[in-house]
């Protein structure tokens, strides 16, 4: 994926979520499995990716990797499909 950041005055409006889901859907349609790597202390980013249908896929002390749930283990429908 890419590194992106929402400008301070535009946060908490769902823009990052809309962009993330659109990009992930496009990548999936092209046969590319999207993933993200972030610091475990980055709760806002982790929340964004989990809300978008990603799940933890591994990691260590300095990073966490997330990839789309396919199928969702918790019974929820992934919004990426």
Alpha helix segments (H runs only) across 15-79: 15-29, 43-51
Tens digit of each residue's pLDDT (9 = 90 or more) over 3-29: 778 899 998 899 999 988 888 888 888
In whole angstroms, give the CA distance from residue 56 to residue 61. Answer: 14
Q: Give residue-wise pLDDT tens across range 24-74.
A: 888 888 888 888 888 888 888 888 888 888 888 877 655 566 676 655 455
Q: What is the pTM of this model?
A: 0.72
Q: List, in order, residues 6 or more apart from 21 with CB less than 8 Å away.
A: 52, 53, 79, 80
């Amino acid at each position: 994926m890419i590194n992106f950041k929402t400008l301070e005055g535009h946060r908490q409006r769902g823009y990052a979520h809309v962009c993330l889901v659109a990009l992930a859907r496009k990548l999936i349609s092209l046969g590319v499995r999207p993933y993200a790597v972030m610091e475990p202390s980055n709760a806002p980013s982790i929340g964004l990716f989990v809300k978008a249908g990603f799940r933890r896929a591994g990691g260590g002390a300095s990073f966490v990797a997330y990839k789309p749930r396919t199928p969702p283990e918790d019974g929820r429908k992934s919004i990426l499909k």
